[in-house]
Amino acid sequence: MLGHHAISLLKGPVADNIPILCAAVAWLSGRVGLQYAMLIVPACYAASGIAFVGAEAMMEQDAAVEKAAALRERSKAKARKEPRLYSK
């Protein structure tokens, strides 16, 4: 396990989750062994980070699609309200 000094050098979300990760490794080590637990827990942590980034990208894309649809509706409504100055 990391010493207290090594943990204090880390910054950000990883440092906040080190006690949780250590507890997860300790809990899993009794079931699958320490070596597998130390492999599984960080891999799951990384996978959840990748899934989070993917979900954020999907939400941004959905927001962009909704914004484009709203702009299209606004332009259609504006076109219906404005009189045409020329005929086609």
Residue 5 within a domain? no
DSSP 82: S
Instruction: Identify whether 21 is part of a domain.
Output: yes
Q: What is the pTM of this model?
A: 0.53
What single-letter DSSP state applies at residue 33? -
Q: Does 27 reside within a domain? A: yes
Is the pLDDT at 6 greater than 70? The verdict is no
Q: What is the pLDDT of residues 22-65, one digit of tens each?
A: 888 888 888 899 899 888 888 988 899 899 999 999 999 999 99
Residue 1 lies in a domain: no
- Residue 28 CA to residue 26 CA, distance in Å, equals 6
Overall domain count for the chain: 1
Query: Does residue 64 form part of some domain?
Result: yes
Residue numbers of the domain that contains 16: 10-80
